[in-house]
Amino acid sequence: MFAKGLQSRGMTSAKIASPVALRAQTPADAAFADRLVRDQLRDAIGLPTEGGFDAGPLVEMQMRSREAMLAGRFADLERRVAWIGETPAAILLTGSLDGALHVAEIIIAPAWRRQGLGATILASVAGEARATGRDVTASIFVTNTASLGLFSSAGFTLDLAPGAAQASARLRTGINVS
């Protein structure tokens, strides 16, 4: 979850008119997912995402580190792509963690941000967790105000310890989910 930006409650945003389909990532989706992750990593470390700037090995090292962390933390990592019509619009990574369905990442393509796609994806994840009798959890960097707002408005309880770099988010699927 590397998206930057401010999304506070009460702000209006356009809504997606087409249905959203959340599908398992296929090899054909790899280029889309790779580009989204690379752009988010470049943005998170302050590198331009356009203009052909050569980041050298920095982004490659971040990609390898990210993949190693995901593989080590989630034996059952599931990679999905959110499609709006025939257009890929976001990626979702989930896995089991401490008995809950854990949202490891949601990355929305820039053209689809602030249109309700994140909320739609979280509603789908909550439904999946409810069907299996689990809660939904996530860890969110405290500087990621857009994600903090998204998870909070989706009914997640945010726990932020003083001085912590990440907030813990938990949605109890029997509560606050319609």
| CATH number, domain with residue 49 | 3.40.630.30
Structural domain includes residue 158: yes
Give the model's pLDDT for residue 52.
Answer: 60
Rounded distance between C-alpha atoms, residue 46 and residue 31, angstroms? 22
Structural domain includes residue 143: yes
Query: What is the CA angle 130-135-138, rounded to 5?
Result: 125
Number of domains in the chain: 1
Residue 156 is classified by DSSP as: P
Give the model's pLDDT for residue 105.
Answer: 92
Question: What stretches of 27-124 adopt beta strand conformation (E)?
Answer: 78-84, 87-97, 100-108
Domain that holds residue 117: 20-171
Alpha-carbon dihedral angle through residues 21, 27, 30, 33, given to the nearest 10 degrees: 30
**How far, in Å, are 47, 81, 131, 157, 172 from residue 30 at the CA level?**
22, 10, 29, 33, 32
Give mean pLDDT in consecutive 10-residue pieces for the chain, a chain of 178 residues.
31 62 94 88 70 66 83 91 95 94 94 92 95 95 92 94 94 65
List beta partners, residue 102.
95, 137
Structural domain includes residue 1: no
pLDDT in tens, 141-154: 999 899 999 999 99
